[in-house]
Amino acid sequence: MTVEAYLDHLIERYPVLEGQKDHVRGMYEILRDSYRNGGKLLIGGNGGSASDAEHITGELMKGFVKKRPVPEALRKSLCEISPEIGEKLADRIQMGLPTIALDGHPALTTAFLNDVDGSLGFAQQVCGYGKAGDVFLGISTSGNSGNVISAAVMAKAMGMKVIGLLGRDGGKMLPLCDEAVVVPEQETYKIQELHLPVYHAVCLMLEEEFFEA
């Protein structure tokens, strides 16, 4: 399927997202441009949205529906360095798009919580990992998650793009976003149920853009 076909297929299966089609495309385009220029994606969310952050990381950092074999030049280098291990790596490793879910790293996050301010844990990681040209994706069903908003402010100050995956009216997060998908639901679980097909579509679009097989 083409990039645009994946987007059309999303709307066919979830007509309620028709009003967000251009925003889903915009989310994809920001990520595409960042990855083209050597950027990375940092993702922050709480609870079920933390699970979504991990889910997105899993789809982007390895093959989703494609195998993403290593390029021939990398295969050659691997085999030159170690014929035995290199061949195994070349045959089994799948190419990824650099993505970090910020909900992990318990030693860092608990140390910062204990020593400084746990509500700024995502912002601290954005400061450490991020650089101009990277992207921060904040996932919040209400749009009002304080730690996600703080991370978005840090990201913008560092020259990063900010994307929101939100619900309800977008909350306080919305004005900070360069692009936002605000799914048309009010209840948390219904918002989460629409977030998943949105980010699946975007991950498929990115995979189609960057990997031939």
Q: Spell out the domain ranges in the chain.
A: 3-66+97-210
pLDDT of 47 over the 90 cut: yes
Tell me the whole-structure pTM to 2 decimals. Answer: 0.97
Options 3.40.50.720, 3.40.50.620, 3.40.50.10490, 1.10.760.10; CATH for 3-66+97-210 is 3.40.50.10490
Order of strands across the sheet with 41-44? 99-101, 41-44, 135-140, 161-166, 179-182
- Cross-strand bridge partners of residue 181: 165
Q: What is the pLDDT of residue 35?
A: 99
First to last CA, the chain: 12
pLDDT of 177 over the 90 cut: yes
Radius of gyration of the chain (CA): 18
Q: What is the pLDDT of residue 213?
A: 83
Across the chain, mean pLDDT equals 98
Over range 34-62, report the average pLDDT. 99
Model confidence over 82-121: pLDDT tens digits? 999 999 999 999 999 999 999 999 999 999 999 999 999 9
